[in-house]
Amino acid sequence: MKVLDIDDILGAPARLAIIATAAGGERWTFTELRAETGLADGNLHVQTRKLTSAGYLAREQERRGNRTVTCFELTEKGRQAFQNHIRRLSRALSGDGRFTRGDFSDKRGPGRDKSQVW
């Protein structure tokens, strides 16, 4: 797997957690997403903004009584990106990726201390 095979947007753990949470198809309020992902308010705000800018999440304001609530829902583009991301990871796990075990072998020879980087 090459670095370019990884979706830049979904490569960040916080954004991946948000997308995985929203993948069930329900609408999530900001408060619900915060509780489910364990992200702090500021981090969740930044990450949902990046996901909406990329077109992966739809963001809507709803009136509930006297207050406005922000809701998020996975878009079709986000669903496709998430499915592609999972497909690439699954391919890598199954051995159908473009790399082999030899790509990661130690080139210094047998019996060498692998903790030494020089």
Tally the domains of the chain: 1
Domain that holds residue 39: 8-95
Q: Is residue 105 part of a domain?
A: no
Q: Is residue 100 part of a domain?
A: no
Work out the end-to-end distance of the chain between its first and last CA atoms, rounded to an integer number of angstroms: 26
pLDDT digit string, tens, across residues 86-103: 988 888 787 765 555 444
CATH of the domain at 66: 1.10.10.10
Spatial contact of 42 and 49, defined as CB atoms under 8 Å apart: no
pLDDT digit string, tens, across residues 9-28: 888 899 999 999 999 999 99
